[in-house]
Amino acid sequence: MIERQKFGNLIPHVVLCIGVLIVAFPVYLAFVATTQDTATIANGQMSLLPGDHFLETFYRTLFIGSSGTTREPVFVMLFNSFVMAMLIAVGKIAISIISAYAVVYFRFRFRMTIFWLIFITLMLPVEVRIYPTYKIAADLHLLDSYAGLTLPLIASATATLLFRQFFMTVPDELLEASRIDGAGPFRFFKDTLLPLSRTNMAALFVILFILGWNQYLWPLLITTRDDMQTIQIGIRKMIVTSDALTEWPVVMATAVLAMLPPVFIVVVMQKLFVRGLVETEK
């Protein structure tokens, strides 16, 4: 603090509190909606204080489902989302770390060509190539399968770049030392590089899990069966165009369930999350 302010730190506190309110209010409202009954909300007479339908709504949401266009209970969607997010995160890390290992620790023909081929994919987000990719997934019979949900999203230039950058900072002496001890490429990777990359992998995992969990456009196209839906898709289908038919408490409970795992990760693993975010965006 450089000069003494008249009201101490009052202004920053007030501004930050308003900021927190802006950020939290929509979510609070969603939570309150889950505790009230459908008719009250549909009449527009929702109270701002929690009601007593909390358990009922969540039970209905998780195990019965909305009576709208998706009749699938939400726990099925949660399961699908979880499998998809895990496969994307683990798959990306696995294939990127080994390809970065090859690019950094080996000399081979087309090394740089391959590196650039991977690097350029940074510039092709799934949104700009949805229909051609969809057609290929359909030709390969990947519709309505976990492979179809995850494979097209798994190649990640960011993760490869990140591991490459990290491997470049690992001192050469480590490789020479383990060579003298008689370690081959597998040994060195398993006993030296993997343990060193642990924090990087964890930070990356946090980010990739959140991104995978929140995928929307691709699952929307690739899943047609109700029991393959992810929670992000399920929630949209619950909103019926005519207001009277939308069961808002169930929709809001689904929204709360959809944000719970990623929000939990951000809050509990904040350090790893911030690190992963800053590193993947560099």
Partner 1 sequence: MQKQSVFHSRLLPYLLVAPQLAVVLIFFYWPAVQAVIQSFLLQDAFGLSTAFVWLDNYRDVLNQPDYFDAVVRTFVFSFLIALSSLSLALLLAVMADKPLRGSAVYRTLLIWPYAISPPVVGVLWVFMLNPSLGIIAHGLRAIGVDWNPLLDGNQAAALIILAAAWKQISYNFLFFLAGLQAIPSSVIEAAAIDGARPARRFWTIIVPLLSPTIFFLVVVNIVYAFFDTFGIIDTMTRGGPANATETLVYKVYEDGLLGGNLGGSAAQSVILMGIVIVLTAIQFRFVERKVNY
Q: Which residues ranging from 110 to 129 are in contact with partner 1 (CB under 8 A)?
A: 111, 114, 117-118, 121-125, 127-129
> In the bound complex, what is the minimum distance in angstroms from residue 26's beta carbon to partner 1?
4
Please tell me the distance from the alpha carbon of residue 161 to that of residue 159, in angstroms, as a whole number: 5
Please tell me the distance from the alpha carbon of residue 278 to that of residue 263, in angstroms, as a whole number: 18
Taking contact as CB under 8 A, which single stretch among the options 54-62, 71-79, 132-140, 192-200 is the one that binds partner 1? 132-140
User: Which residues, 209 to 268, sit near partner 1 by CB under 8 A?
Assistant: 210, 213-214, 216-217, 220, 232, 235-236, 239, 243, 248, 251-252, 255, 258-259, 262-263, 265-267
Taking contact as CB under 8 A, which single stretch among the options 50-58, 59-67, 88-96, 196-204 is the one that binds partner 1? 88-96
Rg (CA), the chain: 24
* Residue 141 is a binding residue for partner 1 (CB under 8 A): no
* Residue 270 is a binding residue for partner 1 (CB under 8 A): yes
Taking contact as CB under 8 A, which single stretch among the options 58-66, 70-78, 184-192, 195-203 is the one that binds partner 1? 184-192
* Residue 90 is a binding residue for partner 1 (CB under 8 A): no
Nearer to partner 1, 134 or 200 (CB): 134
DSSP three-state, residue 129: helix
CB-based contact 133:142 (threshold 8 Å): no
* Residue 26 is a binding residue for partner 1 (CB under 8 A): yes
Taking contact as CB under 8 A, which single stretch among the options 14-22, 60-68, 71-79, 196-204 is the one that binds partner 1? 14-22
- 82 burial (CB, 10 Å; 0-12 / 13-18 / 19+) is middle
**Number of residues forming the site for partner 1 (CB under 8 A):** 98
Nearer to partner 1, 107 or 198 (CB): 107
- Pseudo-torsion of CA 178, 194, 103, 281, nearest 10°? -140
Nearer to partner 1, 59 or 216 (CB): 216
- Pseudo-torsion of CA 45, 49, 54, 60, nearest 10°? 30
Which tokens belong to 275? 């690190």
Taking contact as CB under 8 A, which single stretch among the options 59-67, 72-80, 183-191, 193-201 is the one that binds partner 1? 183-191
Nearest to 97 by CA among 158, 171, 39, 140: 158
Please tell me the distance from the alpha carbon of residue 246 to that of residue 165, in angstroms, as a whole number: 50
* Residue 86 is a binding residue for partner 1 (CB under 8 A): no
> In the bound complex, what is the minimum distance in angstroms from residue 175's beta carbon to partner 1?
5
> In the bound complex, what is the minimum distance in angstroms from residue 56's beta carbon to partner 1?
19
* Residue 201 is a binding residue for partner 1 (CB under 8 A): no
Please tell me the distance from the alpha carbon of residue 214 to that of residue 259, in angstroms, as a whole number: 9
Q: Dihedral of CA 23/25/28/34: which sign? A: negative
Q: What is the per-residue burial (b if ≥16 Cβ within 10 Å, else e) of 183-209?
A: beeeebbeebbeeebeebbebbbbbbb
User: Which residues, 33 to 72, sit near partner 1 by CB under 8 A?
Assistant: 33, 41-44, 46, 48
Q: Which of 6, 22, 49, 182 binds partner 1 (CB under 8 A)?
A: 22
